[in-house]
Amino acid sequence: MAVFLGIPIALLLAVVIIFLVIRMEGQAPDMKLDMTSSYLGSSQTLSLEVSDAKSGIRQIWVAVFKNGKEFVLADKSYTAGGFIKGGQVKAQILKIEFDAKTSGLTDGKAMLRIRAMDYSWRQWGKGNTRYLEKEVLIDTRAPDIQILSRIHNLNQGGAALVAYKLSETCPSSGVMVGDQFYPGISGFFNDDNSFMTFIALNHNQGPKTTVHVMALDHAGNKGRASVAHHINARNFKRDTIKIYDRFLAAKMPEFQSEFAGSAELSGLDLFLKVNRDLRKKNYETIKQIVAEPDNDLHWKGVFARLPKSANRAGFAEHRTYTFRNKTIDEQTHLGVDLASLKKSPVPAANTGKVVFADSLGIYGRTVLIDHGFGLFSMYSHLSKIDVDKGQMVKKYDVIGNTGRSGLAGGDHLHFSMLVHHTFVNPLEWWDLQWINNNIAATIESVR
Ligand SMILES: [Zn+2]
């Protein structure tokens, strides 16, 4: 009889022991604070991830200490799940709001302290505790911006240079032209907090476009300074391009590989896909290529134009496409078309680094040269490419030959210039006086 009674007691004991071991576990909660820098700005949201898989979270407490004063940012208690289960919440992401004004904390060094406790029975039932301490710097002042350059004349579709100095180191700064951002690049002037930014006014941005420098410091404080400028409106030409059946028959087959199932499309439908969708897709590729320009000013003086060539189409020309006397599409031509002898050698417009040398949709065989600080030149419809990606080229080095690859009716060079992601009018860069007045003079006055 005693034997039979002993089994349930032993079982019960075993369950109690196992249970005690589980509920007495000694693992403190895991904690991950998402804070990219040690700066705390005037207002900021910190993300704190706490998890405790075994016993569940009991309490999370966050405070900032400065000059012996404590300011609690968060103090949260979590519900128990019952005698056996521990805490109900096993994982939690806390968004902690920091507002320097309401806390009354002043700028300077402070200590961020975080404590998380679980529902384990350890520490006489108080649970396991994890501490996290981080030295922080409270900074509520926006960076001060001093505009160093003085003359900012912008033509529609043209470029300018802005130089500015920041009162403190900022991870991000640059110039906003309307809604377009042009990043500031340091390293040209001796002082690390002095920046130079090539900016552009898109051909479709009007005379009322605002221009200002913005800077974001490590603590997330934003500084802003307007740039005094003058905008000249420009009238761009309009042109009509007639699309013929023989052009579609000759050109469209090479674009079939760009779109799945396009073999069934008519020549005209494929042309419209190429002229609209492929044009957009190619621009996205160009934007990626120019996204990280060299921090060296490679170029010098005026930019070279294809020798002995005639202008066939101008920058920002508005094109209406017709087919059998009907308007089928409209686009803007963001380069200059230059025609010379067939397969003419094409010189690099200035010194720089080849960042693209390959086929690119509507542009055909294309070379893109990075001249530094966000300035690029682009050569399209080539019949042959003589340079490789990564190669340095000097002004007048032959990079390839003109041709009619891509969406081109006849042999010509489509020449474009870009300031970061914006196509600009090459006429400015072919004009030494314009460069001297608008770029070189600015650099000299700041240096
Ligand atoms: Zn063109």
Using the mean position of ligand 1's atoms as its centre, give its distance from the Cα of residue 194 in Å: 37
Q: Is the pLDDT of residue 406 over 60?
A: yes
Using the mean position of ligand 1's atoms as its centre, give its distance from the Cα of residue 294 in Å: 26
| Residue type (1 letter), 376 | F
Using the mean position of ligand 1's atoms as its centre, give its distance from the Cα of residue 312 in Å: 8
Burial profile 385-401: b = 16 or more Cβ within 10 angstroms, e = fewer: bbbeeeeebebebebbb
Using the mean position of ligand 1's atoms as its centre, give its distance from the Cα of residue 336 in Å: 6
Using the mean position of ligand 1's atoms as its centre, give its distance from the Cα of residue 210 in Å: 30
For the stretch 225-267, pLDDT in tens is 999 999 999 999 999 999 999 999 999 999 998 988 888 889 9
The answer to whether the beta carbons of residues 328 and 272 sit under 8 Å apart is yes
Q: What angle do CA 215, 217, 220 make, to 5 degrees?
A: 105
Pick the CATH number of 145-232 from 3.40.50.300, 2.60.40.10, 3.30.70.20, 3.20.20.70: 2.60.40.10
96: left (phi over 0), alpha (psi -120 to 50) or beta: beta
Using the mean position of ligand 1's atoms as its centre, give its distance from the Cα of residue 287 in Å: 18
Using the mean position of ligand 1's atoms as its centre, give its distance from the Cα of residue 259 in Å: 22
Classified as helix, coil or strand, 260 is coil
Using the mean position of ligand 1's atoms as its centre, give its distance from the Cα of residue 313 in Å: 7
The answer to whether the beta carbons of residues 338 and 310 sit under 8 Å apart is yes
pLDDT grade for 73, boundaries at 50, 70 and 90: very high
Same fold for the domain at 21-138 and the one at 145-232?
A: yes
pLDDT at residue 392, rounded to an integer = 98
Query: Which residues have CB atoms below 5 A from the ion given as ligand 1?
Result: 335, 337, 414
Q: Is the pLDDT of residue 100 over 90?
A: no
Using the mean position of ligand 1's atoms as its centre, give its distance from the Cα of residue 334 in Å: 7
Using the mean position of ligand 1's atoms as its centre, give its distance from the Cα of residue 95 in Å: 52
pLDDT at residue 61, rounded to an integer = 95
Using the mean position of ligand 1's atoms as its centre, give its distance from the Cα of residue 211 in Å: 30
- Residue 396 C-alpha from the chain's centroid: 32
Using the mean position of ligand 1's atoms as its centre, give its distance from the Cα of residue 413 in Å: 7
Give DSSP secondary structure letters for 324-344.
TTEEEEEEEE-SEEEE-STT-
Using the mean position of ligand 1's atoms as its centre, give its distance from the Cα of residue 301 in Å: 25
Q: What percent of the chain has pLDDT over 70?
A: 98
pLDDT at residue 2, rounded to an integer = 54
For the stretch 348-386, pLDDT in tens is 999 999 999 999 999 999 999 999 999 999 999 999 999
Using the mean position of ligand 1's atoms as its centre, give its distance from the Cα of residue 423 in Å: 12
pTM of this structure? 0.82
Question: What is the residue extent of each domain of the chain?
Answer: 21-138, 145-232, 238-426
The answer to whether the beta carbons of residues 66 and 137 sit under 8 Å apart is no
Q: Which superfamily is assigned to 238-426 in CATH? A: Glucose Permease (Domain IIA) (2.70.70.10)
Candidates 54, 52, 45; CA nearest to 74 is 45
Using the mean position of ligand 1's atoms as its centre, give its distance from the Cα of residue 158 in Å: 18
pLDDT grade for 4, boundaries at 50, 70 and 90: low
Between 102 and 257, where is the model more confident? Answer: 257
pLDDT at residue 180, rounded to an integer = 97
Candidates 180, 230, 173; CA nearest to 200 is 180
Record: fold of 21-138: Immunoglobulin-like (2.60.40)
For the stretch 279-299, pLDDT in tens is 999 999 999 999 999 999 999
pLDDT at residue 26, rounded to an integer = 83
